[in-house]
A and B are shown apart, each in its own frame.
Chain A
Amino acid sequence: MVNVDAAALAERKGPVGSTGQVDAVTARVIRSAMETICFEMAVYVSRTAISPILNQSNERNATILDSNGRLAALSVGIPQLMLQSTLPVRFALDFFGRDRFHEGDVFLGNDPYHGAGHLPDYNVYAPCFADGRLVCFASIQCHHADTGGSVPGGYNVTVDEVWGEGTRWPAVKVVDRGEERDDVLYALQANNRVSAFEGDIRAQIGAAQLGVRRLGEVLERYGASTFDAAVQWNIDHAARRFAEEVRSWPDGLYESDVYVDHDPRGNPDIHIHLAVRVDGDHLHLDFSGSDSRPELQAWSTFGNTRGYAIAALAALMDSTIPKNEGFFDSVSLHVPAGCVLNPSPGKAVSAGTHHPGIEVGEAIALALSQVRPERCAPQVYKTGIPTTIVGEHPRSGARFIDNSAEVYAGWCSAVKGTDGWGAFNAAFGNLWKATAEINESIFPHRQWSRDYRTDSGGPGRWRGGLGSHYVKEVLVPAKVYTYVVGMKYPMPGIAGGCPGEPNKLTLRAGSPEEVVVKDTADWVPVEAGDRIVYEYGGGGGWGSPLERDPDAVLDDVLDEYVSVEGALRDYGVVLTGSLEDLTLEVDLAGTELERARRRASGDGAAPGTMAVPGSGWSEPPSPEAGLLGGA
């Protein structure tokens, strides 16, 4: 079996040996040029790709890497995915050897065990040369609607092995010295259900080629050695600012434990343990102690884990720090081989890419909320997998596959100073999802509701965002396939805030055959007129709800984000008057009394806060303890 050590690829942080010099201003100008080129590549895909997920949902992530496969710059997209582009290129550098990269080449890869996250994410990258020397790569990653395998869309969460999920392409050359390899493109299309796939791949190839052309202009203007030096200058700059922030944090060991309800098979309580050691200006992240039960079906590859980890750290930092390899330089990442966050090759990854992949970010936010609570809001979703509805369209008689890619709200946590808001966390803000008027015109269903559900946001001094009360009626007989999490372990609160309401998915709601999904719905049949009701979970609160401004609570009640009962139960705010008649007022004295009583009795400082075992301040371990690999 092919075995590639992604962790070893990740450790390759060495700079490109270059003798070039650059001044701060030129480095700044070249950085701006690189970020613009990334933007141009991403927009090129939006303009030319065929599938809605690429030309509308904005799931395309452009980056520029240096000749060692280190991240030089990135653009619009989804943070953790942009941070995943480096390892596949490093693998290709090893596999082919530098002398087999030529001007005009374009490569492709999607393999989770060669640095990528999951099979539907295809990386396309092209080397850029100056004076016959390989200088950098233009890379563009896109999520495709299909990737072969036994279930459309690449989300078969029932298989044991990655081979059942789709076709693996570790590193193939799709354009050889300017010559398109039609044999490879043909093979790619033959391994995909969706006829638009080849066109989408061509859009990516075109974007990478555009990136190379534009990088060529920059190289011609400044020279390759100045370019190398500018990349290094910017990496050093990011590393320095990252290190400065870390240095301002108190040294110590900060731990967190996070759980996923279950894997798609119902194996319960998938556990992530994280120990973050702040050591001067360095961060050591150690996931030792995380789950490694072999029977699990929830595996996040090393590349995926690393992307989520760095994205979570980036959200804690000043958002003006340029995103590049400098973010990785100050972080040691230890993920024991064989645990759910670094599985042995061959394990299925469809489910694990998301859960426990995304919980990596949650673990980091929770651990570091002891250090930097004011920026901590986990950039997390608790989706499981999207609810897939398959049936026969009455108009055409053809099969339809409804991936429920509509808008709904969930899991937007509060952060100090800002209530959770909108539909998704900031990190997913580039997504652009379908609406009732779009999808009811395509699929035989009716969307009755997606409004916020009252009291679903986690109480806190700043309140978590609300989840949707989502109701979809199917108009024809169909079957439903999905996997639900976030029921037992909802979005956690931070700094004394309370967790958001959990998820709950009910199929055939209100009928005698009502089904509340426990873990997986494995093609559950639904009849015409049946309703699918998804109560999406809320975001976690920030800070003690007893410290929320009573007037803000009153406003929340008037706006039905919070109920009158919730105001008293969760916030200790006593209201008088009638919501119906718009005569509500805060009983200030009553509220003070209630809050004082709760503070004194110690109940309700953070009612319902999920116990987080093992978190809290603790002494740094002695070096010989060896808890943190790579330390």
Chain B
Amino acid sequence: MGYRIGIDIGGTFTDLICVGPDGEVLVDKALSTPGDQSVGVMNGLGQLAARLGCSLGELCSGIDVFAHGSTVADNTMIEMNGAAVGLLATAGHRDEIELRRCFKEEIWDPAAPAPPPIARRRARIGIDERIGADGEVVLPLPEEQVREAARRLRRLGVESVAVTFLFSYLNPTHELRAREILLEEIPELSQVSLSHEVLPKAPEFERTSTTLVNAYVGPRLAHYVTRLTGALRAAGYGGRVLLMQSTGGVMHSDYVARNAVSLLGSGPTAGVLGAARVAQAAGVGDFVSVDMGGTSYDICLVRAGEPEVSLDWNWRHRYYIGLPMVDVRAIGAGGGSIATVEAGSLSVGPRSAGADPGPACYSRGGRAATVTDADLLLGYLPAKGFAGGRMELDPDAASEAIHRNVAEPLGLDVVDAAWAIRRVVDATMADAVRRVLAGRGVDPRDLALVAYGGNGPVHAWSQALELGVSRVLLPRSAPVFSALGLLVADYRLEGVRAYVTPAGMIEPAKVRQAFAEMAEQAHKELDPAEVEQERVVTQCFANMCYPGQNFDVSVPLSDGPGFGDGDVAGLVERFHELHQADRGFCFRNNEPMLRSLRVLTVAGASSAPALAAAGEAPPAGGTAGSRRAYFGECFMDARVFPGECVEPGICIEGPAFIDEPFTVVVVPPGATAVLDEAGHFELSAAG
């Protein structure tokens, strides 16, 4: 058994974790290299090798698992610098992507701009073909017209083409033939994304948007993967790269390069998986995970250890992504969030000072008052020893910024102004959690809270109070938490196939066949060299709804490939029950519709490492003095414990701080903190 490496790329830092053959854990950070992320990855591997006392080649040739979280797909959408994309659509339907089913994000702002286009209208061409609602050919594919369209796209310099014909998920012949023609006419074309392959289900806007995004980010991602695997191979790693997808599982790079859209929004998922592992160790199944960094606050509900997956209404970068995604919702609230006063009313975020210039107390020229400035003034953060001792924070600069931007306009003193910033950002974040839970009908008081990210432990207890949560877990490995999450991720492959019929007319043979084919396809994708077949679990679902509904309920089937004639009644009954549980009602007198069959294939990651705190063995006992801190009424003395001095099982009563290299655990009066055996802090109410 060799090394297992997790590498997660963030905006500023590339986080690294390496689990050695004997289970020893090494964590590190390297600077990200946005121009070519693979450079940062290789630099990081070099750092790890140096710390292991071996050469890069020795490390690379000893790697068993290389799991990677990449932001290439998201960055492509943020910067809108993807491939030149063309679209072939059914004639009369080339504008779906602009019509967006009428949706606009800003109902009060007539000046809000359109999303930047992926394929301009000149490169969207209607083809006079038509498949009907039963999959029948209404108009045959006019091949010469497709050729002409291809030639036009070639003149436009298109690198990647999306094909979205109506009802192609029922009858893909036209899309398949169109691809052949496109490749004949444009030999240099790097990708053709067919809508029935990317998302084989209705309706057309969702499928079009998903397919266009795939066509747009695909070539960039494929290019990146090629560069990275080339560099790794040159260094001695012969295996494949696993990439984290937004479904909450990893897949190897060959698959991901063809299904680039599955990476979109995957950034926060690894952290959620890590949180689920931490919670599991603590015996917590139902919780909300919150990741508070410098600019954003990412929220995810986890029930029975499984992160909630959102099947629909997934918008990323103003485009609709119709794939199942771990349902992480972000708001603009973090340490760098800027406090402003407008007409006597204080707002915090969503604008952020980011890392550069950052909060005023970073002394990098930032003059805005931020949450971190408030936390420093209130005594929560140490002025010295911040960020692993690499940074000093300047309380005077923080004070000046808060005075000018908040205290003076509100007529408060600086401490009250700092407290006000904290209250507003805490309320904003708690309200955001409530909004996420509202969509699931969950009461926060029934949940635990798992907080990570640099600012998670600083604000966790205030969040808990706002939400009525009584139990808070703070994983100690917060700084590289996402990299850790990569190593516990399973392989995960989603497959879907449309089968639209009233439930009473389901032909079990068709169901069996579809499931068998999808399962076989999934097994092919999972390389037997990397995945033991006995660890592959296939779950089958029937996506169903009542006639006229738009959003499906995914009904699990115990044995999809063995679906028999007698199983329809049971399926319908389970649909009614799930609909009742999920939406609050069911219509037993209504015959539901089957809309698609879904297969989720999961293969367990090879023995996940314990997520114990990485680093040196903690020396026993001792405190390092105290800090004056403000908890709402007056300043009081709070004891300060260096994180490495805290022993498991000892109960630390608030007010107290536990200073970790990249964060501070805030234990306010009335709360206690205990370090558990697995190396995570648990906060709860005192007494």
Contact = CB atoms under 8 A, between A and B. Distances in A.
Interface of A: 24-25, 27-29, 32-33, 35-36, 39-40, 43-44, 47-48, 50-52, 55-56, 76-79, 199, 202-203, 206, 237, 240-241, 244, 314-315, 319-320, 323, 375, 377, 379, 407-409, 413, 415-419, 421-438, 440-442, 446-452, 468-469, 471, 558-561, 582
A409 B91 CA distance: 16
Interface string B101-128: 1111111111111100000111000100
B102 A429 contact: yes
Nearest to B89: A451
Contact of B549 (A32, A55, A471): A55
B155 A582 contact: yes
B104 A429 contact: yes
Contacts of B108: 79, 314-315, 319, 323, 426-427
Contact of A446 (B95, B96, B138, B500): B138
Contacts of A240: 343-344
B132 A559 contact: no
A408 B531 CA distance: 48
Contacts of A202: 585
B438 A43 contact: yes
B345 A237 contact: yes
A430 B132 CA distance: 29
B228 interface: no
Contacts of B112: 418, 426
A437 B167 contact: yes
19 contacts: A43-B438, A48-B584, A50-B546, A203-B585, A240-B343, A315-B110, A319-B106, A319-B108, A409-B98, A423-B101, A430-B107, A431-B102, A433-B102, A436-B204, A446-B132, A449-B92, A559-B120, A559-B122, A560-B121
Contacts of B130: 446
B410 A428 contact: no
Contacts of A323: 108
Contacts of B101: 407, 423, 432-433, 435
B1 interface: no
Contacts of B61: none
B102 A206 contact: no
A168 B113 CA distance: 41
Nearest to A440: B133
Contact of B98 (A415, A418, A421): A421
A37 to B, nearest CB: 8
Nearest to B546: A50
Contacts of A25: 346, 410, 420, 423-424
A450 B93 contact: yes
Contacts of B423: 25, 29
A47 B167 contact: no
Contacts of A375: 110-111
B335 to A, nearest CB: 19
Interface residues on B, range: 35 or more
The 3 closest A-B pairs by CB, nearest first: A429-B104, A449-B92, A421-B114
B247 to A, nearest CB: 23
Interface string B432-462: 0011001101000000000000000000000
B166 interface: yes
B99 interface: yes
B427 A437 contact: no
Interface of B: 91-96, 98-114, 120-122, 126, 130, 132-133, 138, 152, 155-156, 166-167, 202-205, 342-347, 410, 420, 423-424, 427-428, 431, 434-435, 438-439, 441, 500, 546-551, 582-585, 587
Contact of B111 (A377, A430, A452): A377
A418 B112 CA distance: 8
Contact of A418 (B93, B111, B343): B111
Given A237-B343, A407-B102, A558-B122, A437 B133 contact: yes
A426 B103 CA distance: 8
A427 B107 contact: yes
Nearest to B434: A36
Contacts of A430: 103, 107
Contacts of A377: 110-111
A29 B100 contact: no
Given A52-B550, A560-B122, A422 B98 contact: yes
A471 B427 CA distance: 50
A47 B439 contact: yes
B107 A429 contact: yes
Contacts of A315: 108-110
B93 A438 contact: no
Nearest to A221: B466
A25 B584 CA distance: 37
Contact of A76 (B95, B107, B126, B439): B107
Contacts of A469: 92
A435 B100 CA distance: 10
B110 A425 contact: yes
Contact of A44 (B126, B203, B346, B438): B438
Contacts of A55: 549-551, 583
Contacts of B551: 55-56
A422 B100 contact: yes
Nearest to A559: B121
Contacts of A379: 110
A426 B204 contact: no
A569 B451 CA distance: 61
Contacts of A76: 107
Contact of B344 (A237, A416, A560): A237
A426 B420 contact: no
A558 B582 CA distance: 48
A162 B111 CA distance: 37
Given A52-B548, A244-B343, A437-B166, A422 B110 contact: no
Given A24-B345, A426-B110, A582 B204 contact: no
A241 B113 contact: no
B212 to A, nearest CB: 16
A304 B573 CA distance: 44
B311 to A, nearest CB: 14
Given A52-B549, A423-B99, A427-B107, A440 B435 contact: no
A24 B95 contact: no
A40 B583 CA distance: 14
A29 B424 contact: yes
Contact of B585 (A44, A199, A447, A561): A199
A125 to B, nearest CB: 19
A142 B585 CA distance: 18
Nearest to A376: B110
B108 to A, nearest CB: 4
B435 A40 contact: yes
Nearest to B406: A25
A586 to B, nearest CB: 16
Given A441-B500, A448-B91, A450-B95, 11 more contacts: A24-B410, A25-B346, A43-B438, A43-B439, A44-B438, A51-B548, A421-B114, A429-B106, A434-B203, A437-B204, A442-B547
A407 to B, nearest CB: 5
Nearest to A37: B434
B107 A436 contact: no
Contacts of A408: 99
A577 B436 CA distance: 54
B124 to A, nearest CB: 9
A409 B95 contact: yes
Nearest to A428: B102
A438 B114 CA distance: 25
Most buried by B among A48, A50, A437, A471: A437
A421 B549 CA distance: 28
A424 B110 CA distance: 11
Contacts of A77: 107
Contacts of B106: 319, 426, 429
B479 to A, nearest CB: 30
A28 B103 contact: no
B342 A320 contact: yes
Nearest to A377: B110
A25 B583 CA distance: 36
